[in-house]
Amino acid sequence: MANGSALTEFLLSRRARLSAREMGLTDGGGRRRVPGLRREEVAYLAGVSVDYYVRFEQGRTANVSDAVLDAVARALRLDGQEREHLFRLVRPPRAEQTAEDHVEARAGVHQLLDWIAAPALVIGHRMDILAWNQPATRLITDFGLLSSNARNLARLHLLDSPVRSNYPDQDFIVREIVGHLRYSAGRHPDDARLTELIAELRDNNADFRQEWDRQMVRSKSHGFKRFEHPTLGGLTLSYEIAYLTDDFDQMLLVYTAARGSREGQVLRGLWDAVEP
């Protein structure tokens, strides 16, 4: 059964970012109560009746076909991840226990981290930090000194003042975290701990709350992140994320830099500082 409230909010936000003119429609005139496309315009673009689309947007339709969902996705110009999110809102996955509910990554993953020279972490779908290596503690913080609840990248980036100050591009950080957590919420709609984390971030970080309400859905596998480290100085590091093949909810995050660059030398120093 569709999550009606979440589906309504998502579709409203996707309608709001489009205009009749850019979609090749004639503006019927009159004052629009909400920005963006009207429901009847989306219905026309999707090839369904207005009544059906209204009921669909309110989560009051059952057994919606793939063809209709694809038509709505095209009408609203959803990208691949937004389309996937739409399907999950309409057809929520069954609640299942996930690997990080067992708290720790398996022993082989810890061993892998010990052999990675660059800062590396294993995180779960809630952004809980499940495992890490020593270069990562030197770059970010000593995770071993944190409580299990505080050992979460979203909390550290947005609520922990010392760690947060190391990231000058807070708008970018907030967008990445919101995109990932909304993507995870679509995959795990019954995850109470994830719901509590999102509520905590909304209550304590105004930028997160504002970005969350924009309904953006993103899950990135690579990118760049800027650091202003108190001892290492300014750094721009690339990162890659790989999903562990036996558990899609556990991700290996590794920070790297070009060989021969200043950042590369700094990362090499982090590895060299690890005691044999």
Tens-place pLDDT, residues 224-264: 999 999 999 999 999 999 887 666 678 999 999 998 899 99
Q: Which tokens sit at 214?
A: 């924009």
What is the token pair recorded at 169?
A: 């591009």
Q: For 4-90, CATH number?
A: 1.10.260.40
**More confident: 35 or 180:** 180
More confident residue, 81 or 76: 76
**CB atoms near residue 55 (< 10 Å):** 14
Give the per-residue pLDDT at 244. Answer: 79
- Give me the numbers of helices (H) and strands (E) for the chain, helices first please: 13, 5
Residue 99 has pLDDT above 60, yes or no: no
Instruction: Determine the distance from the C-alpha atom of residue 67 to the mean position of all C-alpha atoms in its chain, rounded to a whole number.
Output: 27
d(CA 133, CA 199): 30
Instruction: Report pLDDT for 1.
Output: 44
pLDDT over threshold 80, residue 74: yes
β-bridge mates for residue 152, sequence order: 128
pLDDT at 100: 45
Every domain range in the chain assigned CATH 1.10.260.40: 4-90
Mean pLDDT of the chain: 85
Q: Is the pLDDT of residue 40 over 50?
A: yes
Mean pLDDT of 100-121: 77
Predicted pLDDT of residue 102: 43
The reported pLDDT for the residue numbered 216 is 77
Give the residue with greater pLDDT, 99 vs 169. Answer: 169
Give the HSE-up count for residue 12: Cα atoms under 13 Å, Cβ half-sphere.
12
136, HSE (Cβ side, Cα atoms, 13 Å) = 23
What CATH number labels 99-272?
A: 3.30.450.180
pTM of the predicted model as reported, rounded to 2 decimal places: 0.70
